[in-house]
Chain A
Amino acid sequence: MAALKIKKGSTSHSAYNLRPDFSDVEERHTLAVVVDNEPGVLARVVGLFSGRGYNIESLTVAEVDHTGHQSRITIVTTGTPQVIEQIKAQLGRIVPVHDVHDLTVEGPSVERELGLFKVAGEGEKRVEAMRMAEIFRANVVDTTLDSFVFEITGAPEKIDAFAELMRPLGLQEVARTGVAALSRGKL
């Protein structure tokens, strides 16, 4: 065999920098996935996202039909339109998945999230936190002499905004549920 005239010891033959690039603009989509509530079903869905490198911004899951044992998983994800299409098709392939709804494209929908905020403070800060909570229609669900736990529901952006306001007022801990979403109007 004729030897090839590739330079020996040259690094030009082992460069690691190529990646086809067909990115469009990333979009944020809210998907509602109706599944059989059987052991491991959440692992299948989450494993799909991690295994194929898709993003999860938030994920909520609960059984919504106790007689039919069906759960609804609401996933907020981001990706280019091609990736979003792939995610939906891949979800559809999972055997216990019954339905995949893309609430972002299937017409208007409502999105709600619940957040719990622990805010500690005294004096003026405490009063200010309380005032802000009222404006945001947050409820006080626990109180001590130097702390509150507020409960707030709303679109994720509203909860983000509330968190920003609470930060300088003694925000200590936050728990958020992730988004639950339904389409508007009749089915």
Chain B
Amino acid sequence: MTRNMTGAKMVVQALKDQGVDTVFGYPGGAVLPIYDEIFQQNDIRHILVRHEQGAVHAAEGYARSTGKVGVALVTSGPGATNAVTGLTDALLDSIPIVVISGQVPTFMIGSDAFQEADTVGITRPCTKHNWLAKDTAKLSETLHQAFHVARSGRPGPVLVDIPKDTQFASAGYTEPRAARVDHYQPQLKGDITEITELVELMEKAKRPVFYTGGGVINSGTAASQLLRELVESTDFPITSTLMGLGAYPASGKNWLGMLGMHGLYEANMAMHDCDLMINVGARFDDRITGLISAFSPKSKKAHIDIDPSSINKVIRVDVPIVGDVAHVLEDLLKVWKARGRKTNKEALQKWHAQIAEWKTVRCLDFTQEGPTIKPQYALERLEALTKDKDRYITTEVGQHQMWAAQYLGFEDPNRFMTSGGLGTMGYGFPASIGVQMAHPDGLVINVAGEASWLMNMQEMGTAVQFRLPVKQFILNNERLGMVRQWQELLHGERYSHSWSEALPDFVKLAEAFGAKGILCSDPKDLDDAIMEMINHDGPVIFDCLVEKHENCFPMIPSGKPHNEMLLGEASTQGAIEAGGAVLV
């Protein structure tokens, strides 16, 4: 028996049926009927953000820390356009979210009505798929399809635009299991011949390396488990992109650290010199490859990815395997075991010796001396004082983000939420709110730069209103640090608009919002201050004044191969040639 209900009620019903418990949103004229339904129920919590961009990033944070689909609700026109950055961010990082937007009534569409925007047109290139729901009879099925598309295959953002008259009209409700989703069913199992071919390469490889990415985390915890088993039993070294940190534990004995533009020396050298590269759920992003023509010249390359368009997009591979990481790794392990668990042990031993030698470079070493806190030291202390806690880290974008990836250790997946593909300043704070909603008892810390943090600082109101004890750990260098670094290295130290003047007093700012502010500028006070932050039961803005002109190393300058990393100030002279400047 189908139940009759209004479109607005369908939205709430469909959310419940999809297992949603939290929605991040902001009301307006075109979504009032939905807000009226939200008011009259208690199963779904609505978190009122302070800007729609915040709603979408919060939904992303929720999704990434749980593996579930995140949901945001926004009004038409400006509400929808404010959601665009978050949608694009989720698209580039493959994060499953559903954004529901209100739209002017169908009979007014195209008339330049008040708060009308072509939301479906605007968001078409920044969603996996989107829908304009003009017919209440089809609305509930569309919503179920939206969840299906967001979470299936390579996850991503979707948007359902619902005109106001569709929300008011009534029709029969379609249950989730009755919704047609058959035509969108991405392939999960990998081709067994390709998998076997990879196993054969693994058996002979002298210098193998696993290069893993966000796909492992998106595939679910089983994928991380299988990856760990595979690494333990083959004894191959493993590195990961920014997006994949935590899939293999940072304390694991085969861990090389993050690779890429600001990756570790040993990781990038291993990528450059390997003879077998096994890409598991990563996408050969330009932050990873550096100069393509010199990328890992001596290796055979295998690539496991659920999205066929990722394969051969940037780097041509020898063994392409289309499938879900967990499914493929399971088969890979089976085949490898069935064939006698072979590896080239002798060669591997030499390979590990080589890696050990690279590690002696100690590329992350720094000296904390003098009265000023080094940002690396701040993170080293944060790590020491929080690593044993139930900790979740988000970041903003810039130097602090890279230092967080270098100096914090991630033992489990879904613990590190950062804007990788889009590099969205302003992501980390709202994301931390989403994470804290999903993990009320977790210690949620946003490692921020002062400039990024200001981009969505209005969410302080959200944190205070909903008593979310998120910790805003701001590495304040009074600079757009990453921009300044590039200007130093590539633009002759002409620091065009890369410093922040008139910064707020962050302690007073926290207090103005009714939260706690902590200022720390002396390395000697740092531990106590961090403990004070952790122990405070409520949101905290931690203003950590750090060295203003510190650079983030190692660094592979744009347009350079992996083995031409800059390791520190001394190595930067004349390192970046004309050509590199054109790249981003």
Contacts and interface: CB of A to CB of B under 8 A. Distances in A.
Contact of A20 (B125, B292, B493, B569): B292
A25 interface: no
A90 interface: yes
Interface string A1-31: 1111111111011111111101000000000
Interface stretch (A43-51, A114-122, A147-155, A176-184): A43-51
A3 B550 CA distance: 11
B447 interface: no
B120 interface: yes
A95 B312 contact: no
B312 A13 contact: no
Interface stretch (B197-205, B220-228, B420-428, B570-578): B570-578
A93 B574 CA distance: 43
A162 to B, nearest CB: 38
A3 B493 contact: yes
Interface residues of B, number: 44
A44 B124 contact: yes
B260 to A, nearest CB: 17
Nearest to B310: A89
Contacts, number: 98
Nearest to A91: B309
A15 B581 contact: yes
Interface string B532-565: 0000000000000001011100000001000000
A144 to B, nearest CB: 40
Given A13-B581, A20-B291, A51 B125 contact: yes
B3 interface: no
Contact of A43 (B121, B489, B547): B121
- Chain A contact residues: helix, strand, loop or mixed: loop
Given A1-B551, A8-B492, A14 B581 contact: yes
Contacts of B583: 18
Given A85-B312, A95-B128, A18 B573 contact: no
A43 B550 CA distance: 47
B215 to A, nearest CB: 15
B580 interface: yes
Contacts of A10: 492
6 contacts: A4-B572, A6-B492, A13-B490, A15-B578, A17-B578, A22-B292
Interface of A: 1-10, 12-20, 22, 36, 39-40, 43-44, 47, 51, 82, 85-86, 89-90, 92-96, 98
Interface of B: 120-121, 124-125, 128-129, 132, 149, 183-184, 291-293, 307-309, 311-313, 316, 488-494, 547, 549-551, 559, 569, 572-574, 576-583
